[in-house]
Structure 1
Amino acid sequence: MSKIAILNQELIELDKKHFLHPTSAIQQQQTQGPAFIFTKGEGVYLEDVNGNRVIDGMSSLWNVNIGHGRKELGQAAMEQMNKLAFSSCFATFSNEPVIRLAAKIAEITPGNLSATFFTSGGSEANDTAYKLARHYWILKGQPKKKKIISRSRSYHGVAMGATSATGLKPFRDFTNSLAPDFYHVDNLSAQALREVIEAEGPETIAAFVAEPVQGAGGVHIGSKDYFKEVREICNHYNILLITDEVITGFGRTGRAFGIEHYGVTPDMMCFAKGVTSGYAQLGGVVFSEPIYEGFKELSVGTLLHGYTYSGHPMACAVALKNIEIIENENLIDNAQKMGEEMLNGFKWVQTERNLVGEVRGLGLMGAVEIESNQFSQGPLAPLIVNEAARRGLICRSVVFDGMDTLVFAPPLIINKQEIDSMIEILNDSINTIEQKL
């Protein structure tokens, strides 16, 4: 047995014995071991311990926006860690990277969004938004405004508040004690939001939260007027609008932030993932100027909310370099152009393969629906994902709420040739599954 094979077997056994994987099938991992053990990333490619090279058609978890192996981010991290690896931001302490990043985010976010509270990731960002929205209404003398409304097929994370807001029922069913005062409405109907507000009483509603494009729920895109209608409803009933840009932020949709497609500014905006392209753990909530002014004018004493790593100097330094690369390399424009190429490719596959139903996309977020309801063996998208991985492409299946869908979100650096390779593998993978039916 070769040294590589021995190493691989050792890692597989250690993985099975000691590593509880997030969002993974436990029994599958225990019997088969990890699907891949990656050792290297370069551009849009990942390479495993056996030397297999695959296109990362999901940017790992929708987050490696500038691609793998960017030494500039490692250099930024090293330089910052050599100067100041960590210092607390509690008790008004600060550091230069977090100050400059907060200013940069205020510059690139839409409208009057102006001040950022930093977290370690997207779930923390969402929980922070809900908690501070409720605190805002307490400061305003309206403590009954505490209910949070979100959408069906939404995903907002796995912290307790984020789980409760998530509109994918299996995530909520995973626990037997959800946080109270969370409600869900139809994901594409502004009228459904109005009806729930009126039924519950606007005086009890703190905020409505929505992803500009629903990601983990299947890449669902609202009508061009949906968010304008939502903004008007929130204004009318004095309810805060929170947009969850954890996936859609920092260029993913062909705009800096997904909500910019709709000409709307939220009161709060959650972000994570693409802010560092996954090279460091960082997230946050950006507040509009009126909300931030409300906190400053009405707060007495200490803001009793914060995480150990809020404003982590190394993570903020990495984020600044990441945003610089996105801007200097025109990756937002590339996401828009390559997103059109990807969607055109999906439409071609749609004409070639009988299993393909609706296809959709915005920027470098895309979905291909699989018409498997006529087959008794269950969803087919997971089988296609496995076949695509064998052929050199990572994508993801969504099988919640009757959906049987493939989703894609490649790095923003992807080029036409790499898009074509993705589409070819996708088409061949679906064809292979079709032939087995």
Structure 2
Amino acid sequence: MSLVTNEVNVVQLRELDKKHVFHPVTSLKQHQENGPTLIIKEGKGIHVTDVNGKQYIDGLSSLWNVNVGHGREELAEVAKEQMTQLAYSSSFQGMSHEPAIRLAEKIASLTPGDLNVSFFTSGGSESNDSAFKIARHYWKLKGKPERNKIVAMKRGYHGITIGATSATGIEQFQNMATAQAPGFVHATTRFNTNCELGDRTDPDFAGSFRGVIEKEGPETVAAVILEPVQGAGGLFIPQDGYLQALRKLCDEYGILMITDEVITGFGRTGKMFGVDNWDVVPDLMSVAKGITSGYSQLGAVIIRESLRDELAELSGDGMFFHGFTYSGHPVACSVALKNLEIIEREDLVANAKNMETVLKKGFAYLEEKHPIFTKSRALGLMAAFELYKDRNNEIPFNPSLAVAPRFVQECTKRGLIIRPVIFEGSNTIVMAPPLTITEEQVEQMIAIFDESLTEIATSIS
């Protein structure tokens, strides 16, 4: 029986959703009052269509993850083929199967340096939690259990399991989890290269990774974690040299470096991985989202081969007591292999870089035309801009005006799905369309921004 027919009772669906679905990252009160914001029925390419037949440009790749676009039949076909052959098999106790083996080999061919070993999970939160546990396990095996602190960055987002939430530097997510895991500390200075290189005269030094590490004591720190480009926190891109400085800092104190590539991985930034923009090799790399383009649930922690070998030597015959039921799920791994084949075959990484240029050209046009438009930035197909009452003096809009959400609503009316970021009073608009987007489609997005900016400026004047 089909879940969706040509005679969908939309009113009934909305009421059933209100009654039975508990939505993540949603106002429960507004959902109870208004029901779902959209009910999506199908997707094709960069577009999705709702149950009323209205089509939208998916300007955020759903949740930063549908890198190859919607409706890829070959991904459905490979999933069906794998299900009929081997739908599930455990990876516990050394058990394995070909899809996981082939995928791990493929990932090793794409990652920088000796990041050659994959521990598979079901998603980004699990990947980051696993990375934390591996880092702490490593230091415990080395006889230094006091090295258990994880230093993360303010406005970084690392997921919603208890460990991942504790690492997340966004207050709203931290406040929801009333029992924070111990051993997580946050740097409050974002992407200041001089601080990480040791400039203690900088007024922001105390909040830098180096400042926090030296205050806490390097001998207590297991690892640092950061996104190469901050995503959900507002899309912030580090200056050239920053990641190299952080790598140098970690080497100086023997601290493990974890990069969260859940969003930035697999072509999103115009490179295969975010760190490739700066030629940095972390010790552990968390991935998910783009590994399957959202067609199946999969993530991984990719570990330096030298680190894995040391863990094996230190462990002896001891068991590694960590794993998930769906670690290395054969269907998900098969989908991931085909997804990576599509990314390479269609040269989508290069397309992401080319479309960055088109986006920036459009942003320049919008900044010239609209006084409230400012602070645009893009790396590959991760992009953002901000809305200010007075951009020259950086005077924000009154929060009561809800400018960013209203702007997003105007875009949605015109057939474009994007996302507002309003943490700490900001009015930031973020986007990350599928890597398949064309120049003409980027220009359609710019045209919708143009109309929506005009509407917002008129409505608040």
- The bucket for the TM-score relative to the shorter chain is over 0.9
List runs of 5+ in structure 1 lacking aligned partners: none
TM-superposed CA distance for 1:187, in Å, is 2.1
2:205 aligned partner: none
RMSD of aligned alpha carbons: 1.2
Aligned equivalent of 1:371, options 364, 388, 399: 388
1:236 aligned partner: 252
- Cα deviation code 1:118-162 (max 9, x no counterpart): 000000000000011000111111111100001111000000010
2:50 aligned partner: 48
Secondary structure at the aligned position of 1:377 is classed as helix
CA distance in structure 1 between the partners assigned to 2:185 and 2:398 by the alignment: 34
CA distance in structure 1 between the partners assigned to 2:98 and 2:423 by the alignment: 44
TM-superposed CA distance for 1:6, in Å, is 6.5
TM-superposed CA distance for 1:376, in Å, is 5.9
Secondary structure at the aligned position of 2:453 is classed as helix
- Cα deviation code 1:340-371 (max 9, x no counterpart): 11122122111111211210010000001111
Q: How do 1:3-14 and structure 2 match up within 5 A? A: 7-14=9-16
Preserved CA contact (<8 Å) 1:89 1:310 = yes
> Compared with structure 1, are the counterparts of its residues 24 and 5 closer, same or farther at alpha carbon in structure 2 (3 Å cutoff)?
farther
Aligned equivalent of 1:393, options 405, 409, 416: 416
- Cα deviation code 1:233-262 (max 9, x no counterpart): 000011000000000000000000000011
Preserved CA contact (<8 Å) 2:8 2:51 = no
TM-superposed CA distance for 1:4, in Å, is 7.1
- Cα deviation code 1:386-409 (max 9, x no counterpart): 110011000000001232100000
Preserved CA contact (<8 Å) 1:118 1:283 = yes
1:280 aligned partner: 296
Aligned equivalent of 1:187, options 190, 200, 210: 190
CA distance in structure 2 between the partners assigned to 1:55 and 1:95 by the alignment: 38
CA distance in structure 2 between the partners assigned to 1:374 and 1:282 by the alignment: 40
> Compared with structure 1, are the counterparts of its residues 111 and 168 closer, same or farther at alpha carbon in structure 2 (3 Å cutoff)?
same
Runs of 4+ in structure 1 deviating by more than 6 angstroms, as ranges, are 3-6
CA distance in structure 2 between the partners assigned to 1:310 and 1:238 by the alignment: 29
Q: How do 1:104-183 and structure 2 match up within 5 A? A: 104-183=106-185
TM-superposed CA distance for 1:424, in Å, is 0.4
2:40 aligned partner: 38
The aligned amino acid for 2:245 is E
The aligned amino acid for 1:188 is F
Aligned equivalent of 2:341, options 319, 324, 330: 324
Aligned equivalent of 2:271, options 255, 259, 265: 255
Aligned equivalent of 1:343, options 344, 351, 360: 360
CA distance in structure 2 between the partners assigned to 1:420 and 1:298 by the alignment: 55
CA distance in structure 2 between the partners assigned to 1:172 and 1:344 by the alignment: 37
CA distance in structure 2 between the partners assigned to 1:143 and 1:175 by the alignment: 26
- Cα deviation code 1:30-53 (max 9, x no counterpart): 111111111110000000101000
CA distance in structure 2 between the partners assigned to 1:134 and 1:343 by the alignment: 42
- The answer on 1:431 being equivalent to 2:431 is no
Secondary structure at the aligned position of 2:376 is classed as strand
TM-superposed CA distance for 1:176, in Å, is 1.5
CA distance in structure 1 between the partners assigned to 2:259 and 2:425 by the alignment: 26
TM-score, normalised relative to structure 2: 0.93
1:267 aligned partner: 283
> Compared with structure 1, are the counterparts of its residues 202 and 268 closer, same or farther at alpha carbon in structure 2 (3 Å cutoff)?
same
The aligned amino acid for 1:133 is A
1:99 aligned partner: 101
Aligned equivalent of 2:27, options 22, 25, 28: 25
CA distance in structure 2 between the partners assigned to 1:221 and 1:264 by the alignment: 15
Preserved CA contact (<8 Å) 1:4 1:49 = no
The aligned amino acid for 1:251 is G
1:76 aligned partner: 78
List runs of 5+ in structure 2 lacking aligned partners: 196-207, 390-395
2:200 aligned partner: none
Identity %: 50
- Cα deviation code 1:296-320 (max 9, x no counterpart): 1111321100000000000000000
CA distance in structure 2 between the partners assigned to 1:259 and 1:304 by the alignment: 30
Q: How many residues align?
A: 435
TM-superposed CA distance for 1:8, in Å, is 0.3
Greater CA drift, 304-313 or 286-295: 286-295
- The answer on 1:213 being equivalent to 2:229 is yes
CA distance in structure 1 between the partners assigned to 2:401 and 2:218 by the alignment: 42
TM-score, normalised relative to structure 1: 0.98
TM-superposed CA distance for 1:28, in Å, is 1.4
TM-superposed CA distance for 1:426, in Å, is 1.1
TM-superposed CA distance for 1:29, in Å, is 1.2
Secondary structure at the aligned position of 1:114 is classed as strand
- Cα deviation code 1:173-232 (max 9, x no counterpart): 112210011111122225211111111111100000010000001110011010000000
